[in-house]
Homo-oligomer: A and B are copies of this chain.
Amino acid sequence: MPTFSVDLEPVGRRVTVRADQTLLDAAQQAGVEIVAVCGGAGACGKCRVHLIEGDLTLPTTVEARFFHTEELRAGYRLACQARPLSDVKVDIPPSSLSTPQRLQVEGQESEVELDPVVRPVDVTVPPPHLHDLRADTMRLRSVLAQQGVPRPFFSQPVLRDFSERLRQQQWAVRLALRRQPPLFEVVGAVPPGESLVGLAVDIGTTKMAGYLVDLATGHTLAKAGMMNPQIAYGEDVVSRIAYANEHTEGRRVLQQQLIESLNTLIGQLAREAGVVHDQIVDAVVVGNTAIHHLFAGLPVTQLGESPYIAAASEALDLCAVHLGLELSAGAKVYLPPNIAGYVGADHVSMLLATGAWNAPMPTIALDIGTNTEISLAVDGRVLSCSCASGPAFEGAHIHAGMRAAPGAVEYVQMSGGEVHVQTIGGKPAVGLCGSGILDAVAELRRAGVVGRTGRFQPQHPRLVAWDGGGAFVLVPQAASGNGQDILVTRKDVNEIQLAKGAIRAEMEMLLREAGLTYRELGAFIVAGAFGTYLDLESATHIGMFPPLPLERFHQVGNAAGTGAREMLISGARRRLAESIVDKVEYIELTVHPEFMDVYMDAMYL
């Protein structure tokens, strides 16, 4: 039997398979975990892939159920159905990859034109002698003036080691020069020929993602994720603000925790990329406004009480050494501007990276979290708002809720009396992560086990008595990984209703403000980790998202992180982010007279 090579993109793995093996077999053989809730039976339709090169067997009748003709014509297939007829290259969209895989591949290399704020300048400083007794900086200034760098500024942390470095390197040095004419600042120095890199970080309420980027090529050299250590002081930003207010030094503690973890992350990234701290000469950090304030050491009391005012919302260039971040001695940390107390720089970064702010058709872009920020771009306007959607999608306040970790149910499918679940890492189920609870509620509703109001219909054999409202046994004790039934309780369903209701209501308010209906939306961009893992059909089924054709949805992964990397390699992108914020019209929903009615309506399943 012939064999063919299968290239799996964008993960970049190649594997050889027999002609009778499917693309799903190929992926599994390559160690690439494709979502296949039904186990490859053609029942769930989750294992979508896209043919880039080569030939596959013709679409099966199973595939015809899951795709439109145009989609099939364009090369969309189910991995469990398609077999190669030649060497092939297929693209696996993030939504078809299970969680850990997606974390690895999320965030494509940016196509932004390289325009880094910090650039190398190679100089050889004439050594001093008895007829040239000028200070080290003065002799350097002469050389720089000849190279077209007028009156550069050296901050004290840069000068600390500079004379020693010059002598150790026999007077040849690569300077990291931060250019913001008329200001030129030397922010670091490395041996000649060493590369200058930058750090981009997206700090979420729960997780942080860091990237080291080569400033000369724009390539990402290393990525790593880490939990936000502030979780120990409160799961959401509101409780962290309370912690900061109620404890002496509380604000400082929260900042220090974050800085220390970031330094660990930086160390890890530096090792992976094979660079030293001196080479990390620029940084961009994005996060929501509360995280931004806690990171920068700004006051948060006023963020925690109406009318929820940011201390500062303009773009900030902070000294890394002030913050305690272990970068090059003079490195600055660029924080893009915030929009409002609850619409932060991470949202700005997402609008920038996705181009949503300037979309040619009416476009919704949102990032779902404990707080969900949504923007609507239409006819040159950008309307933004924010609403507390609760931590249900982060697994909190859910009976069997857990973070997206091995053993978390991430997908659920019910057909007949059968319940199929897929867990992260294929481990026995121990709980439900965000996409799992979303799927579970959607499937329970679809199967009629849950009614419009969220109440269990009392006839299903898997229902058990629980705390007055009942519960559904999603995974029975015998099959679970922790010896307990994995339950979906009435209260869980309510939590999802509250969350999805808030998100949908926000969206509706923006649409009303713009005089649009959801049908007029040309694009619907879902950013962020949960937004990437969630099942769009489930999300539309429970009414969290409007029932748009699926091709209008774009699950873009960590777009905030991508935006941060764009701003890292491009000063023009920073200016653009600042101009986006100037353009945004922020809508305060908490005081909008119609909001509560819309919200109540949106809670029906």
Contacts and interface: CB of A to CB of B under 8 A. Distances in A.
A313 B135 contact: yes
Contacts of A586: 133
B162 A311 contact: yes
A299 B138 contact: no
Interface in A137-178: 137-138, 141, 154, 156-157, 159-164, 167
A301 B163 contact: yes
Interface stretch (A15-23, A316-324, A447-455, A567-575): A316-324
Interface string A265-309: 000000000000000000000000000000011110110000111
13 contacts: A128-B309, A130-B591, A133-B309, A135-B312, A135-B314, A136-B309, A136-B310, A136-B312, A156-B322, A160-B297, A163-B298, A163-B309, A182-B182
A260 to B, nearest CB: 18
Contacts of A161: 299
A588 B313 contact: no
Nearest to A131: B588
Contacts of A73: none
Chain A interface size, as a band, is 35 or more
Interface string A101-141: 00000000000000000000000000011100111111001
A309 B133 CA distance: 6
Contact of A135 (B128, B136, B318, B338): B338
B164 A310 contact: no
Copies of the chain in the assembly = 2
Interface in A306-347: 307-314, 316, 318-319, 321-323, 338, 340-341
Nearest to A156: B318
Contacts of A591: 130
B312 A154 contact: yes
Contacts of A588: 130, 133
Contact of A322 (B157, B302, B307): B157
A178 to B, nearest CB: 15
Contact of A313 (B134, B167, B311, B321): B134
A162 B302 CA distance: 11
Given A130-B591, A156-B318, A156-B319, 4 more contacts: A137-B314, A156-B322, A159-B312, A160-B298
Interface string A60-82: 00000000000000000000000
